[in-house]
Structure formats: C-alpha cells, structure tokens
Structure 1
C-alpha cells in the first residue's frame, strides 16, 4: 500500500504542477482521446483521482471480487460504458467552467480596486495565472488530496465498491488510480507538445501491473516509458514486437477512457 500510495501522490503532485502552468489555448487543444479537449481530459482525470473519497465513505463490501488487472477487463470498457464516460467528463468540464466563470465575475467586482493598489505597490510586477486557470489546478489538487487522506485513514485490507459494481481491495483499486493519472498524463503531454512527466514511482507501479510482475522480453529492449506506451495503445506495436508479446504470454489489459 505505501509504495502504491507514494506513486499516486507523486504523480498527482506532478500533474498539479503542470496544470498550474497552462493557458487557455492549452486547455482547448484536442487530445488523442477524442472527442475530449485537454480541459475535458483534465476533468476526467480529476474525477478518477478523487473517486476514492466517496468510495471509502460508503459501506465496505464483505470481500474482494477482482484485482487491478481484472478491473481493466474488456467487459468494463464496452462502447456504451465508454460513451457514458466521455459524456460525463464533457458535462463535468462544462459545469466547472461555468462555476469558475461565475465566481471570477463575482470576485472581479470586489477586487479590482484592491488589485490595482497591489499592482501599484508592486511597481507593476504583480503576475501569476488568471483565477480560472489557477482554480483548475486547485480543483485537481483538492480532489486527489481528499482521496489520499481517505486512503491514509483506512486499513490497507479495506474493500471498496467500484463504479462498475465490483468489490476490490483498497490497494488494488489505488493501483488503478495510478494508471489513470499516469497514462492520461502521457495523453496530456502529447496534446500539449511537452515531454512526458511520468514519475519513476508511478511508472514502476504501472509497468508491474501491465506485465503481471514478469520481465519484459529482452529482445524488445523497451524502457519503462516505451512499455507503458506500447501496452496501453499509445504507440503501435510492430509485427516482431507483437510476436514477442504473444510468446511471453502477457495478459493484455483493456483500456477505455
């Protein structure tokens, strides 16, 4: 649990830092998870990262039924489930934007004079991201920290109920959250034309899940990032690579959004 929790915290903290540096043009970029924009993908990741807070507030199922690999089974990512997930993220992003806009207008009416005075005192050097974009990072930060706090207060053997209805041990579900934040972080980096920021701790947790703890065939010569990209569909497999994977008997996981 502590290794997985450390990976979750590291990856979420890294993403919070990235989000605080985005601008409006960044948020409107398309992603390789169509039809989501960067803004909508962030909303999806925020929901996924914060999900455990509510799950741990609910009654615990009597026993676990699936592990992290089972969570990514093909039956969980049907076109119907994926469509609902896509629509939910788009609606959530729109609601968040509307709420931030309303709050910004209200704050602006009260703070124009104060900001003008602060700028004067600072000699015109007062800067920083606009409130709306700062709020986006703050919302994600609050969501994952609330989840992490709930995890810290629960025993590692605690069982939770997923949105698919399955019962999982807390540690196993937290592994899926590391995948959620880490792999979608690769999607965001690609959309923003930035180098991947996947943290070593998260990469290790994700790679272990993808391979079932087995070594990658030596002939592939993949580093951790390549392994994750290839096995989650973020990069295409060549014919020889597919043959090596098949021979190794990897359990291929299903990834929707």
Structure 2
C-alpha cells in the first residue's frame, strides 16, 4: 500500500507542476496528448474510489498479477472509450481545471486507499480481490502512466525508483518470466508493454520472451 501511495503521489505531483503548454504535447499513449492522459487519470481515480466503496463477500478470484487482462493488439487511440477520453479532455479547455479535478479526486482516492484495510475484499470488473492486491496492481498502472506522461517531457520528474521496481516485478509476474537483469526497470516496462520497440541487441537478450512481447495489459 505504501508503493501505491508513493507512486500515486509522485504522478499527481508531476502533473501539478506541468506548464500549460505541456498539455498539448504527445504522451506515451498512442493517439493521446498529455491532456488526454491526465483526463484518463481522473477516470482512474474515480475507479479507485468506486472499487474501494464496493465491498465483496466472496473469496478472491484474482490477485495483483492475475487482475490484469493481457490483450493481443496495442491500442491505436481509435477505440470508442479512448476517443471519449479525448473529447472529455478537450472539454476542460483550461489545463488548470483539469489539474484541479485530478488533485481533488486524486487526493480523495489517495486518502481512501490509506484508510482501507489491506485484507478487506472488494469487487471490480466482476472480479474479487483483496484491497492490498487491488492497490498493488495499481502501482503498475500509475508507473506506466507516469512514464507515458514524461515520454516527450524530459524535464519532468519520473516515477520513484521503488515504484519502478515493484511495477517490473508485477510485469514479470504477468509474463511468467524474468526480463534480463542488466536491463533497467524503465527499459523493461517500456519494451515489455510496447511503449518502445526493442533494439536488435535487446531482442537477442530477451530470448524466448522476444516472441511474447509486447504485453498489452488493461
């Protein structure tokens, strides 16, 4: 739960410090500008609040790793829900309104996470898992989107090292194998999720994993 709080706080702080012009820059999410990504984070924060307020009474069906669905094709930005996010983000017009909304609901999501019992059971997307596993799963979400945020903003602070390491461990759990130990956590996350292509040398180092990447998670 500490990893969740630190990763989420770091991501929100990075957004809060962005100049207005940064919102018109592309993000690491295909088809999305930074403003679209930030709007998605608002929706993510809402999902966290909804899930933490949706207790379950049955046994867990997933954990922090199996919570994630692995798809086949990387997003193109043309999915109806992705397109809806773009329209919603544009409606804010003033970036200050968007950052205010993220700070408002994001802070509430962070407080709710801090108050929740780790062994409590919650339900989301027709699955049941512990609060601890749910918040741990979101470390991967926050970390990947933090990398998306800074993809074309090199002067913006990146995700915390402990969040990168925890996200890598989760991704290796999803992959069912470890990535090369010589790779940085950031390179593992970017290459494994298709956010950048592997170099010729990297593909050789991946071995059997080369045929499996990218892991499109959602």
TM-score clears 0.5: yes
- The structure with more radius of gyration: 1
1:45 to 34, 41, 64: 41
Structure 2: stretches of 5+ with no match in the other structure? none
Once the two structures are superposed, residues 216-241 of structure 1 have per-residue CA deviations (whole angstroms, 9 ceiling, x without a partner) of: 434xx212222222222222223553
Where does residue 183 of structure 2 map in the other structure?
222
How many pairs align? 216
Where does residue 69 of structure 2 map in the other structure?
73
> Cα gap change, 1:93/1:58 in structure 2, threshold over 3 Å: closer, same or farther?
same
Cα root mean square deviation, aligned: 3.3
Once the two structures are superposed, residues 87-114 of structure 1 have per-residue CA deviations (whole angstroms, 9 ceiling, x without a partner) of: 342243244x16xxxxxxxxxxxxxxxx
Where does residue 116 of structure 2 map in the other structure?
154
TM-score normalized with structure 2 length: 0.80
Do 1:189 and 1:195's aligned partners in 2 also have CA atoms closer than 8 Å? Answer: yes
**1:179 equivalenced with 2:140 (yes/no):** yes
**1:14 equivalenced with 2:10 (yes/no):** yes
Once the two structures are superposed, residues 156-184 of structure 1 have per-residue CA deviations (whole angstroms, 9 ceiling, x without a partner) of: 1222222x322222222212322222111
Structure 1: stretches of 5+ with no match in the other structure? 99-131
Do 2:4 and 2:138's aligned partners in 1 also have CA atoms closer than 8 Å? Answer: yes
Once the two structures are superposed, residues 165-207 of structure 1 have per-residue CA deviations (whole angstroms, 9 ceiling, x without a partner) of: 2222222221232222211111111132435511112112101
Do 1:19 and 1:136's aligned partners in 2 also have CA atoms closer than 8 Å? Answer: no
Do 1:210 and 1:252's aligned partners in 2 also have CA atoms closer than 8 Å? Answer: no
TM-score normalized with structure 1 length: 0.69
Do 1:67 and 1:169's aligned partners in 2 also have CA atoms closer than 8 Å? Answer: yes
Do 2:27 and 2:152's aligned partners in 1 also have CA atoms closer than 8 Å? Answer: yes
